[in-house]
Amino acid sequence: QQQVKQSPQSLIVQKGGISIINCAYENTAFDYFPWYQQFPGKGPALLIAIRPDVSEKKEGRFTISFNKSAKQFSLHIMDSQPGDSATYFCAASDNRDDKIIFGKGTRLHILP
Amino acid sequence: NAGVTQTPKFQVLKTGQSMTLQCAQDMNHNSMYWYRQDPGMGLRLIYYSASEGTTDKGEVPNGYNVSRLNKREFSLRLESAAPSQTSVYFCASTRLAGNTGELFFGEGSRLTVL
């Protein structure tokens, strides 16, 4: 049973365009939704995170949009750059246990 | 600034052999995790330890055992390796239980089981 569903699996975007990655979840007890970025040969690193008491969080070119009623959240990368080419993972957790569950990842490629 | 250190970085095993992956963090974190990463499957949680002295199963615990040796160290053991355990293994840690903070990952251990 996949608790966090992520789409698309892969994404190609022109430089300067907007990259959008979507995630959906079922467990209404989830209360923390981070996004991680992973470059080849490296471990994932936290990019941005949101809690369900807000609908949007922005950090530079990266924005999380959160829709609690639809149980969906998405990552938007504005003005995408070749250096953004990486694999992106959404994740979710609830503080009743300490599991952090990841989506299957999206491989993003930004064309120069 | 070591962060999370995993050893070994690469390992080749034959089916049925055993081995232990070591993980140590120097950030005084309470919670530690082992994930495996496979193409198209993302990061799947094997075991985690919310605090020193406790361990719990994650999504895919079968075929693995763990030991939280002390606050710094969390090891993952394969008692009888199988080809299905060929994967990249990541250890991670975070300061607080309850997922109020950032997960810090090691650089991974690439395991091949022949």
Query: Are A44 and B103 an interchain contact pair (Cβ–Cβ within 8 Å)?
Result: yes
What pLDDT shows up at residue A67?
A: 94
pLDDT > 60? residue B98:
no
What pLDDT shows up at residue B97?
A: 59
pLDDT per residue rounded down to tens, chain A (112 residues): 568 999 999 999 999 999 999 999 998 888 899 999 999 999 999 999 998 889 999 999 999 999 999 999 999 999 999 999 999 999 998 877 778 889 999 999 999 9
Bond from prior residue into B61 cis (ω within 30 degrees of 0): no
Query: Are A103 and B42 an interchain contact pair (Cβ–Cβ within 8 Å)?
Result: yes
What pLDDT shows up at residue B40?
A: 84
- CB contact B56 to A (< 8 Å): yes
Query: Are A98 and B105 an interchain contact pair (Cβ–Cβ within 8 Å)?
Result: no
Contacts of B88 (CB under 8 A, 6+ apart): B36, B37, B38, B108, B109, B110, B111
Q: How confident is the model at residue B105 (pLDDT cuts 50, 70, 90)?
A: very high
Name chain B contacts of A89, Cβ cutoff 8 Å: 42-43
What pLDDT shows up at residue B22?
A: 98
